[in-house]
Amino acid sequence: MQRRVIDAMTPDPLVVEGEVSVAEAARLMNQHRVGGLPVVTGERLVGLLTSRDVRAAHPNRLVLDAMRKDPLTIPPEASLFEAFERMQEAEVERLLVVRAGKLVGVLTKGALLYSLGASQDPLTGLSRADRLRHTLESYLQGGLDPTLVFADLDSFGSLNKAHGHVAADRALRALGRLLGGFARAHGGEAFRYAGDEFVLLFPRPRGEVLPLLEELRREVGVLKVEGLPPLALSLGVSGGRRGPGRVPENPAATADDLINLASQASTRAKGSPQGWVEAAESSR
Amino acid sequence: MSKPESREHSQKHLQLSLRAQPFEIPPLWDALLIGRGAPIGPEAARRMAESLSPGQFELIPLEGEGSVVEACLVRKKLLRLVEAESLVQLLLEECAQMLDEEAVIRVHLDPELQAKRTLRLR
């Protein structure tokens, strides 16, 4: 489940009326220790006053004459990654969360980064499944059908039982490092999906990715993890077949389909001679 | 040890002087040039003008950070005579020496029409 702005925002934020003085707004900011206040007239959101605006304006001015008139807004249903990208692009510290023209919350950079930290897997350093969904949806929305490789570590349960969880964690960490480096080297990104499952996402056609899989399995086969036997992956491949420019009707549902198809294909790949299976997709 | 002087024996007294003059309506004359760092901003000035002389003034914001003036508040009847852009340009040029970021300058403008025609003799 992808985390949304609504999960990290401060609901019912403190606001300031546009008709009060900048001095009064500054007092409010100090009292409540906030670096910015949404400005309203009645129920209507009309701007944002930040501590920087307060410093630049004469304290006698109306807030209406010191605020930014077009503050960046975001709907509560938007993903945290979209919020992060918007903040980075505009170099702002907060977004006003607006639903149907009404202010429902404030998302600060601090709260956003804190929440996004939870999207990073601490064991492998790779991004987690919600980040995968966001990246996948962004590609699909941009008319690109990326190739998704679902990578399932073989016999992980037996590894755990025979060598213990600490050793198995070592395997996951080493595998995460290898997959991350491999994906980056080929223009993609690796994610830890869950447990012993990883995903590699390449913004490239499937035809360009398939030849890489043998190399990947070879690299994994020679990966040395202290006290453990050689590792092996079962791979399932989906996506990367449609020409560019076609945007699916429902990118979120298509993203789910691609993940499911690749996951099922990776299960079928267990014990297969080449170690990978292509998903047969037809109706996307 | 001496006793402190009591209030009843204080020599302090209050003196009031006053000065009165008619309040001009509106106090902002024909145009107001509002500096970017002035104690009152364009919206406050617009509201003041609107409450004292409803419908008679128009706020012209000046785009860009280059000018020290953030906006001009101008009497609408002047804008029926000349283009807003020309009027603002004139005000900025003629008042340049008085303008700075913190200033709010009010300006009297007396339009006087001059015409000259040649008519055929009877």
Distance between CA atoms of residues A200 and A149, nearest Å: 5
Helix (H) or strand (E) holding A111: helix A109-117
- Comparison of pLDDT for B121 and A276, the residue scoring more: B121
Number of domains in chain B: 1
- State the pTM of this model: 0.61
* A119-157 per-residue burial string, b: 16 or more CB within 10 A, e: under 16: bebeebebbbbbbbbbbbbbbbeeebbbbbbbbbbbebe
ipTM metric: 0.75
Q: pLDDT tens-digit profile of A188-213?
A: 999 999 999 999 999 999 999 999 99
B43 neighbourhood in chain A, CB within 8 Å: 18, 62, 64-65
**Residue recorded with tokens 């020290």:** B68
Q: What is the pLDDT of residue A283?
A: 46
So what CATH class is A129-278? Answer: alpha beta
Residues 6+ apart with CB under 8 A from B61: B42, B70, B71
Answer CATH for A5-117 from 3.40.190.10, 3.40.190.290, 3.10.580.10, 3.30.930.10: 3.10.580.10
Does residue B102 belong to the interface with chain A, where contact is any CB pair within 8 Å? Answer: yes
As a residue count, chain A comes to: 284
Q: At CA A160, angle to CA A156 and CA A162, rounded to 5? A: 115
Question: Could you list the residue range(s) of the whole structural domain that residue B59 is in?
Answer: 31-107
> To the nearest whole angstrom, how far is the Cα of B61 from the nearest Cα of chain A?
12
Within-domain flag for B90: yes
Q: pLDDT tens-digit profile of A92-142?
A: 888 999 998 889 999 998 888 888 877 788 888 888 888 899 889 989 988
Where in chain A are the domains? Answer: 5-117, 129-278
Chain A residue closest in CA terms to B40:
A61
> To the nearest whole angstrom, how far is the Cα of A50 from the nearest Cα of chain B?
16
B42 neighbourhood in chain A, CB within 8 Å: 65
